[in-house]
């Protein structure tokens, strides 16, 4: 009999419930609220206006749990109010629901001091973050071939600055980016060419948004199959990275 590999969110849900039970949070009627932030609330005024959230392609969901906050990026924002038990019982079949689950997980683990950097950085910090990520990858991997899954323009630009356009590959799901050149690199269709990106990269930088849009499991399987190194980046992946021991890089994320 074949056993299906649990999805990343199923793995996280199991661990999340264990944590909630250990800390006696399930029986309490604790309010969990989630709402979409405006671009200014989420990232302030970073100077450049080509971030997906600034042009309206994505929004940030903010969950608050006992005074702690957690963020998650999504293209399907929505409001939610309920108990932690209700969040743990959600059917994680849509991006909107997955965003609520992930943001709440981030907020709860922030409350328990089990996760850091659960709130997005603002103003000049996204640019500083991008430079630091590029420097970390250069220090660890030298003149490597770097794959970027999820077009963050600041990170893409700094990767090209450090490694050169011939050593950077980019995939994205936004049809307005696919096929266009960004900083001298053609943006590939993430639905069609993610495996090509993984095969041609020494290390892959994966946006935490893939946890919300449902593409992470396929990406992780491709990375495992080819034996590549990878890091998740951004605040969305904060809680899941801590629960499941995944490596994340988020130099300027803030405490929620």
pLDDT tens, residue by residue, 160-213: 999 999 999 999 999 999 999 999 999 999 999 999 999 999 999 999 999 999
How far apart (Å, rounded) are the C-alpha atoms in residues 44 and 30?
Answer: 30
How far apart (Å, rounded) are the C-alpha atoms in residues 147 and 187?
Answer: 11
How far apart (Å, rounded) are the C-alpha atoms in residues 147 and 249?
Answer: 15
pLDDT tens, residue by residue, 151-173: 999 999 999 999 999 999 999 99
Q: What is the pLDDT of residue 61?
A: 86
Nearest to 253 by CA among 85, 43, 26: 43
Nearest to 236 by CA among 214, 203, 221: 214
Q: What is the pLDDT of residue 102?
A: 96
What domains does the chain contain, in order, with CATH numbers?
A: 8-111 (no CATH), 125-249 (3.40.50.11590)
Residue 59 has pLDDT above 90, yes or no: no
Instruction: Compute the average pLDDT of residues 237-247.
Output: 97
Q: What is the pLDDT of residue 155?
A: 96
């Amino acid at each position: 009999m074949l056993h299906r590999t649990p999805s990343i969110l199923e793995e996280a849900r199991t661990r999340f419930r264990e944590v909630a039970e250990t800390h006696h949070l399930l029986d309490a009627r604790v309010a969990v609220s989630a709402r979409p932030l405006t671009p200014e609330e989420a990232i302030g005024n970073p100077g450049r206006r080509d971030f997906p959230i600034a042009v309206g392609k994505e929004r940030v969901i903010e969950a608050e749990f006992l005074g702690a906050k957690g963020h998650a990026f999504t293209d399907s924002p929505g409001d939610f109010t309920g108990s932690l038990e209700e969040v743990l019982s959600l059917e994680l079949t849509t991006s909107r629901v997955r965003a609520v689950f992930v943001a709440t997980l981030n907020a709860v683990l922030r409350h328990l001091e089990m996760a850091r950097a659960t709130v997005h950085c603002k103003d000049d910090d996204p640019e500083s973050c991008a430079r630091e990520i590029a420097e970390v990858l250069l220090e660890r991997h030298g003149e490597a071939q770097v794959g970027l899954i999820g077009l963050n323009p600041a990170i893409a630009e700094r990767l090209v600055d450090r490694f050169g356009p011939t050593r950077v590959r980019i995939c994205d799901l936004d049809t307005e980016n696919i096929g266009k050149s960004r900083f001298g690199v053609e943006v590939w269709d993430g639905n069609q060419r993610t495996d090509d990106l993984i095969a041609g990269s020494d290390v892959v930088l994966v946006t935490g948004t893939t946890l919300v849009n449902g593409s992470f499991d396929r990406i992780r399987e491709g990375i495992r199959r080819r034996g590549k190194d990878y890091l998740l980046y951004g605040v969305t992946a904060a809680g899941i990275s801590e629960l499941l021991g995944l490596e994340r890089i988020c130099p300027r994320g803030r405490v929620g």
